[in-house]
Amino acid sequence: MTAKKLDTWEEAVHWLRQQPDQQKLVLDAYYDDPILQAAERYWRSGEWAAIRKFLPQAPGTAVDIGAGRGIASYALAKEGFEVTALEPDASDLVGAGAIRELSNEAHLPISIAEEFSEKLPFSDNTFDVVFARAVLHHTTDLSAACREFFRVLKPGGRFIAVREHVISSERDLPVFLERHPLHKLYGGENAFLLKAYQNSIVSAGFKMERLLRPFESEVNFAPYTPAELKAEIGARIAARLPLLAKITPVLLSFPSVWAIFSHVAAKFDRRPGRLYSFVATRPQ
């Protein structure tokens, strides 16, 4: 890693894309070009397939909070939603400029608002879906942001926040930041306690519908596929308990066993920065 501190997120991503040993991370984070190809890959990914299950059956209006390059905006538009991408960074690589390029190339009408999430430039009851991918942990005021999401969501609308970094204690935060591949370059990363996310969402007025734990859904463990994740876990168990090497893959292949395993594993998982996702609704 470079020791030089960079001034912008765009510079950090540009640096990452130049590193031969980081190309898998570039692809996994959808930082590659052509941008239309990256967005299409996201729309076809297992992560989006899992998210799609939580979208309303009838497409309506959606806002993509902290849209970045616009890959989720593209996916929502492909699903038939009328999409507004909220992205304060004007960058042509990782911000509003990239979204404009993507919208033009894909011939999808994606509106862009260059604002921050803590004070949304929208009227009350505007959207059927408020979508946020890896956004909440970047907010300067988590509770205020959730109140704004509630305000702009229509009654009966859905709030979907995915891939949020969680820590078990405040002591874990420096450990997470030290391990993050880009934080040293630019900063800006963060993580909250699980209860902080839950309290902020519920206190804003939302009804929590689903809490997705780290191993429960491809929403969180992508870019691993379910088969790849089970193989990796099976190999780690076998390395510690060789007698279980043959039976573990068989057991993990049963959906009921995997459901129990993923639930129990979350109780013991203390990795700083592990990913959780949240699905909530605004009551009618």
- SS3 per-residue string spanning the chain: CCCCCCCCHHHHHHHHHCCHHHHHHHHHCCCCCCHHHHHHHHHCCHHHHHHHCCCCCCCCEEEEECCCCCHHHHHHHHCCCEEEEECCCCCCCCCHHHHHHHHHHHCCCEEEECCCCCCCCCCCCCEEEEEEECCHHHCCCHHHHHHHHHHHEEEEEEEEEEEEEEECCCCHHHHHHHHCCCHHHHCCCCCEEHHHHHHHHHHCCCEEEEEECCCCCHHHHCCCCHHHHHHHHHHHHHHHCHHHCCHHHHHHCCHHHHHHHHHHHHHHCCCCCEEEEEEEECCC
Q: Which amino acid is at 17?
A: R
pLDDT bracket for residue 186 (50, 70, 90) = confident
pLDDT bracket for residue 243 (50, 70, 90) = confident
Q: Return the minimum-mean-pLDDT range out of 67-71, 159-163, 164-168, 236-240.
A: 236-240
pLDDT bracket for residue 244 (50, 70, 90) = confident
What number is the average pLDDT over the span 264-273?
A: 92
In the chain, % of residues over pLDDT 90 = 85
Phi, psi of 269 (to 5 degrees): -75, 115
Is 271 a residue whose pLDDT tops 90?
A: yes
Q: What is the pLDDT of residues 190-207, one digit of tens each?
A: 999 999 999 999 999 999
Q: Which amino acid is at 86?
A: L
What number is the average pLDDT over the span 37-42?
A: 98
Q: Which two tokens stand for residue 220?
A: 């969180």
- The pLDDT of residue 122 is 97
Q: Return the minimum-mean-pLDDT range out of 45-54, 157-166, 256-265.
A: 256-265
- The pLDDT of residue 4 is 63
